Amino acid sequence: MNARMKNNPTWPKAFAFIGLTIMGLALAYYSTTIATAGIGGVVFGTDRAGDVLSIGSAFVMVGVAMAAVFGFLALTQIRGLGRRA
């Protein structure tokens, strides 16, 4: 892939990044239920080490980071399209 093709902003790329941003937000939202189940597991004694809580917290951070990165990429694509017009 040449450099000119990679830096060319297009609407399909922008919408793909917006879709990945929404997936990151959905991952972060769903991970809160995993973390909440982990808290319940620690309280009721079914998960003494707190592994589920740790995994849920890690996925919240991954989801937020994913949404931030792909949101930034989507905005740079849209900004490039606006400057080109």
Q: How confident is the model over 11-63, as pLDDT tens digits?
A: 999 999 999 999 999 999 999 999 999 999 999 999 999 999 999 999 999 99
How much is the CA Rg of the chain, to the nearest whole Å?
Answer: 18
How confident is the model at residue 46, as a pLDDT?
Answer: 93
* Alpha-carbon torsion (30, 35, 39, 40), positive or negative: positive
pLDDT exceeds 80 at position 1: no
Residue 49 is classified by DSSP as: T
Local structure of 46: helix, strand or coil: coil
Residue 82: the pLDDT is: 87
Task: Report how far apart the first and last C-alpha atoms of the chain are (Å, whole number).
Answer: 24
Quick one: pLDDT at residue 30? 95
* Per-domain boundaries in the chain: 11-80
Report the length, in residues, of the chain: 85
Using DSSP's 3-state secondary structure scheme, residue 5 falls into helix
The answer to pTM > 0.85 is no
